[in-house]
Amino acid sequence: MGNKQIIEKIRSKKAFISDMDGVIYHGNKLLPGVPEFVEWLKKEEKKFLFLTNSSERTPKELQEKMLRLGIDLDESFFYTSALATAHFLSVQKPGGTAYIIGEAGLINAMYNVGYSMNNYNPDYVVVGDTRSYSFEKIEQAVNLVLKGAKLIGTNPDLTGPVENGIIPATKALISPIELATGRSAYYVGKPNPLMMRSALRRLGCSTEETIIIGDRMDTDIIAGIESEIDTLLVMSGISTLKTVDKFPYRPTYILDGVCDLVC
């Protein structure tokens, strides 16, 4: 199948679930073709959702970041692993307590579902993306897990892309706690199908009508495959064609970036 046919098949989809880091931007740098892609989604009246495994920012903060980059969208177009984690825990144990290692996006999401913060005997230790990481927090988390708190990770990403390279993400940050306690965390974000089902409910679309766009084989693409959603891998973030060959599965489509769909 040629690139023109691939692009036509992708453009025919009714709904688009797009990752952000590595697809829409790198850090504070908007990627080529993104303004045109968003305008095309609006013009064609496509249903779309920007879904990120990053748990640092609230939807409002993501909206404001995109506005600074020149993209004006309502905050309802953003869904994060922090929101997915908070929803999951509110169903598992309504009104529970948690010790949180994370930023405002995760803390606010947990408060908004009725959770309170507890550093003595919480129901859960929840770890998300954060730059305020310390030995003291790891020590506290380890001892709380050993006392019975369940260990939860907002996402299983080891790294995330930024303008000048990569940064450690949640799985890298939570691994010392797993190793010290001998307990494995439960990760809510991609590729967990829970997050994909939440996204589909928000869009009101079926799996057949939807495509997921991402730059990572180990989260975005496998999330689509396990949720039976067509996948588009873009080369604008973490992955390269050599990366694809390392995995026992393949994306439905591969393009250089979202620019290819509209430029």
Q: Domain ranges in the chain?
A: 3-53+190-262, 92-187
What residues contact residue 224 under an 8 Å CB cut-off, 6+ apart? 196, 211, 212, 214, 230, 231, 251, 252
The question of whether 19 is a catalytic residue gets the answer yes
Tokens of 64: 């404001």
- Contact predicate 172/159, CB 8 Å: yes
Catalytic residue, chosen from 21, 129, 218, 230, is 21
pLDDT for position 27: 81
SS3 166: strand
Rounded Cα gap, residues 11 and 232, in angstroms: 11
Identical topology for domains 3-53+190-262 and 92-187: yes
Q: What is the mean pLDDT of each run of 10 residues along the chain (263 residues)?
A: 85 96 89 96 97 93 96 96 96 98 96 96 97 94 98 91 80 97 96 91 95 93 95 91 94 95 89
CATH, domain range 92-187:
3.40.50.1000
SS3 50: strand
Any idea which fold 3-53+190-262 has? Rossmann fold (3.40.50)
- Contact predicate 54/81, CB 8 Å: yes
The question of whether 215 is a catalytic residue gets the answer no
CB atoms within 10 A of CB 245: 9
Rounded Cα gap, residues 104 and 86, in angstroms: 13
What are residue 211's DSSP bridge partners? 16, 230
Task: Give me the residue label for tokens 């040629």.
Answer: 2
Rounded Cα gap, residues 105 and 60, in angstroms: 9
pLDDT for position 1: 59
| Helices 135-146/170-181 angle, 10° precision | 50
pLDDT for position 161: 67
pLDDT for position 2: 64
pLDDT for position 238: 83
- pTM (predicted TM-score): 0.90
Long-range pairs for 175-178 at CB < 8 Å and ≥24 separation?
176/138, 176/142, 177/125, 177/127, 177/138, 177/141, 177/142, 177/145, 177/151, 178/151
| Residue 75 to residues 63, 64, 65, 108, 232, Cα–Cα distance (Å) | 5, 9, 11, 15, 24
DSSP code at position 31: P
